[in-house]
Structure 1
Amino acid sequence: MSDPHYFIGLKTEQAADHLLLWQQELREHMQYKVWTNPSDFHVTLKFLGPASDEKINKLITILHQQELPDAFSITIGPAGGFGHPQSPRVFLAEVEKAPQLEKLYQQAEKAAAASGWDRERRKFHPHITLAKKQAEGQSPLSLSNVPPVFQQKFPMIMDHVTLFRIHPGEHPKYQEVFTIELKSRDGNGSTN
């Protein structure tokens, strides 16, 4: 049996109601093979892939020692996609690339590298995947009259970093393994 797969990310449950509405509207225009379960909405900081318990424990120790930024607010939206504008392979919510988010990304990369993973070569593009593996239809973002719901922007507080284990075929499929709460403005924060 192969080792389970993991990633470091930020849960976005505060945005779930907004993003679920986006998914409902999107279903009127496109049919994707994979729709993200609202419990699984997140921003990926570092995809790790397969890892042994030993490697994961080393990563957790290093993450716990990091000097992480305080909790911060970012903007979610508007909608976007990866791939052809009329039929993107991934439909997503854009995420503001705030300095604190960039710092978390760099720290996740650093901790992963110190634990034996290669650094990411692609540019960091924070987003929340809503659907992927396009089957048919036309993206509402390519219409001359883009539905207003996909143009919305809304604030969200990022207040914890999480190590997730992936359970393919399950719904939801991401299990929280380890969480570090970012300090609030009053200086409180914890891990579990």
Structure 2
Amino acid sequence: MNSHYFVGIQVPRELAGHLSSWQHTLQKHMRYKVWTNAEDFHVTLKFLGAASDEKINRLMSMLQQQNLPDAFSTTVGPAGGFGHPEAPRVFLAEVEKPPGLVKLYKRVEEAAAASGWEREKRDFHPHITLAKKQAEGRSPLSLSHVPAVFQQQFSIMVERITLYRIHPGENPKYKDVFTIDL
């Protein structure tokens, strides 16, 4: 059986601490079936799914040949969600799309396509998943006074991308396999 993989941007430890506090506040309002471990916070550039070692090696080679952007900064926050505003199925931190991030996404897509993966059909919506599979409760984002913690914004430097292997039974469950500095 092949392992599952994705290419992403790791969240700096300091930001992970802030996002963990968002989760703590969110737990007072909503119950989710899956809460992202702080060590697993990331921005997905390309979900790959199951892949052989050969296909992964081809992708890593293609990524190294890409004209990736130089390191850049982006903004994380405020909070958001996918799904119904009062009960989003995914609760997340929004991520700004500066030109460097858009270029990085396109280069990863190009390398993946050249390595045998299909191109993503959905628009790129960079985010950091905090919780998913909503079970009950009302989103604090739908309240008349949204808690200030969910309106915070943080600047981060994006200096590398990482290929992750997914280990579903472990916590944290994402292990870095390969990193490319920008």
Task: Tell me the TM-score range normalised by the shorter chain.
Answer: over 0.9
**In structure 1, what is the equivalent of residue 6 of structure 2?**
7
- What does 1:122-137 correspond to in 2, within 5 Å? 122-137=122-137
Deviations 1:50-100 (A, max 9, x none): 000000000000101111111111000000000000110000000001110
Match of 2:143 in 1: 143
Shift of 1:136: 0.6
Q: Counterpart in 1 of 2:153?
A: 153
Correspondence for 2:74: 74
Deviation >6 Å, runs of 4+: none
Aligned partner of 1:185 in structure 2 is none
> Cα distance, 1:154 vs. partner?
1.1
Q: Which amino acid aligns with 2:75?
A: T
* Stretch moving more, 173-182 or 12-21: 12-21
How many aligned positions are there? 181
Structure 2 gaps of 5+ residues are none
RMSD: 0.6
Provide the residue aligned with 1:93 in structure 2. 93
Distance 1:159 1:33 in 2: 32
| TM-score (normalised: structure 1) | 0.93
CA distance in 2, matches of 1:120, 1:32: 27
Shift of 1:181: 1.2
Map Cα deviations across residues 9-33 of structure 1 (whole Å, 9 max, x no partner). Answer: 0001241011011000000000100
Q: Counterpart in 2 of 1:188? A: none
What is the CA deviation profile of residues 141-167 of structure 1, one whole-angstrom value per residue up to 9, with x for unaligned ones?
A: 000010000001110111110000001
Q: Which has the higher strand share?
A: 2
Look up the equivalent residue of 1:59 and give its one-letter code: L
Counterparts of 2:12 and 2:41, CA distance in 1: 7
Instruction: Measure the CA separation in 1 of the matches of 2:174 and 2:154.
Output: 24
Alignment partner of 2:135: what SS?
strand
Secondary structure at 2:18 match in 1: helix
Q: Identity rate of aligned residues, in percent? A: 69
How far, CA to CA, are the matches of 2:104 and 2:69 in structure 1?
7
Which letter does structure 2 place at the counterpart of 1:11? Q
Q: In structure 2, how many angstroms separate the alpha carbons of the residues matched to 1:68 and 1:123?
A: 20
The residue number in structure 2 matching 1:41 is 41
**Are 1:50 and 2:20 matched, yes or no?**
no
Long gaps (5+) in structure 1: 183-192
Read off the aligned partner of 2:107 and give its amino acid letter: Q
Q: Secondary structure at the match of 2:80?
A: strand
Match in the other structure for 1:64: 64
Decide whether the 8 Å contact of 1:13 with 1:39 is kept in 2.
no
Distance 1:169 1:91 in 2: 22
User: 1:100-153 CA deviation, whole Å, 9 max, x = no partner?
Assistant: 000010001000000000000000000000000001110000000100000011
